[in-house]
Amino acid sequence: MDPRLSKVSICEIIRVLSCEKILALQFFDWVQDNNPSVYRNGNVCSLMIDNCGRLNDYDTMRALLKRFKHEDICLNDSAFGFLPVLDSGKARSMESVSLVVNVLGEVGGSVRSSGVQALIGMLCGSDCFELADYVIEITEKKAGYYAILVREKLKRGRIEQACDVINRMCVQGCEPDTKVYNYILGSLCKNNKLDEALTLLEEMKRMEVEPDGITFEIFISSSWRLGKMEVAKETFDRGRYEEAYEFVRNFEVKKMPQVHKMFSLLARLYRVNGNLDVAARIIGEMMERGLKPEFRSYVETVKALGMTGSKDLASDLKTKFAKFRVE
């Protein structure tokens, strides 16, 4: 009989053993011998830590964590489902969390870094933000940890609380990074709060935090969705057209269906600001990639080229555009 089991089956067996308060170590060792590729799976290993926790067997937990450390295995939030954070008082919950943090700290390596992050994620997912803050307090104040707080608060529609996290980071000497800002910018734009998003973008600029491709995508997509071109233009004015252009041209068409709208917008902005040659180059490049430009942007660019004597360039764009069929 083939002794191999699927990852789903292995995870389910460990969960059942945990519910029955049976240590799954013997089964886990069997998996290592018969399913070595699945044995190193992060979810399988995390469920083993949860199994030890449910049996209050921290000696076995330490031994396993040391094995995982040597193999650079990272944990996820499935590792800490045993913590009684919802059914216990605050003091007991903090005690349990502290014990786990101490064990992770003793072992160090990949399990410590991934474990602390997973622990914060699990607590936030359980709406235990106070305990998540406590974990950050007793470990370290990292932007990545705060980003989890921001992301989970936004999932619950708590935009103001997410903004408060940024303010707290600044007070505690932990500089917010682009990822943290992008989480909030995305939520504000999704909720049609573009003015607030632009204000936050200005704060981002004052903090000398550089926008990235995701920042541009957030504003461009929202601008087109709401029909507010001026917002996209203001976003680029506060950033740099060149960076936006590089961001757009590096996008894969299949991954970003609206990329043709971004090309058209950039071409229009360059043309309005007097850089007609770049606008024409952008429109030409997008058509070479099989993207049909926005008709108005295309027509105005061709017309402007004709008026400035660049008839050859205008003719080239017409030839490329003729390949598209208007339905």
Residue-level pLDDT, tens digit, the chain, 327 residues: 566 788 999 999 999 999 999 999 999 999 999 888 888 899 999 999 999 999 999 999 999 999 999 999 999 999 999 987 556 677 888 998 999 999 999 999 989 999 999 999 999 998 999 999 999 999 999 999 999 999 999 999 999 999 999 999 988 889 899 999 999 999 999 898 988 988 898 888 888 888 887 887 788 777 767 766 666 666 666 555 666 666 666 655 444 556 677 777 778 878 877 888 888 888 888 888 888 888 888 888 899 888 887 888 889 899 888 887 554
Q: Is residue 162 part of a domain?
A: no
Spatial separation of the C-alpha atoms in residues 326 and 7, rounded to whole Å: 50
- CA 137 distance to own-chain centroid: 23
Identify which of 295, 267, 299 has the alpha carbon closest to the alpha carbon of residue 281: 267
| Whether 216 contacts 257, CB under 8 Å | no
Range of the domain at 35: 1-115
**pLDDT of 327:** 44
Could you tell me if residue 293 is left (phi over 0), alpha (psi between -120 and 50 degrees) or otherwise beta? beta
Q: Which pLDDT score is estimated for 241? A: 62
Six-digit token string for 31: 């998996």
Q: Is residue 217 part of a domain?
A: no
d(CA 147, CA 91): 26
Report the candidate in 98, 202, 126, 94 with the shortest Cα–Cα distance to residue 148: 126
Nearest residue to 159 (alpha-carbon basis) of 130, 203, 210, 197: 197
Alpha carbon distances (Å) from 220 to 38, 76, 201, 234, 296: 42, 33, 14, 10, 18
Nearest to 121 by CA among 28, 46, 24: 46
| Tally of structural domains, the chain | 1
Please answer whether residues 101 and 131 qualify as being in contact, where contact means their C-beta atoms are separated by less than 8 angstroms.
no
* Helices 143-155 + 178-190 axis angle, to 10: 10
Name the residue among 289, 271, 292, 288 with its Cα closest to residue 280: 271
- In degrees, rounded to 5, the angle at the alpha carbon of residue 71 between the alpha carbons of residues 15 and 126 is 40
Query: 130: which 2 tokens?
Result: 């106070």
Answer for the pair 218, 185: CB distance below 8 angstroms, yes or no: yes
Give the pLDDT score at 35: 87
Q: Could you tell me if residue 262 is inside a domain?
A: no
Note whether residue 90 is domain-resident.
yes
- Is the residue at 268 inside a domain? no
Alpha helices in the chain (DSSP H): 7-19, 25-34, 36-39, 42-54, 58-70, 90-107, 109-125, 129-138, 143-155, 159-171, 178-190, 194-206, 213-226, 229-238, 241-249, 259-272, 276-288, 295-307, 311-321
The first and second tokens of residue 197, run together, are: 């998003």
- Give the end-to-end CA distance of the chain in Å, rounded to a whole number: 60
Distance CA 84, CA 94 (A): 10
For residue 234, tell me if it sits in a domain: no
DSSP 292: P
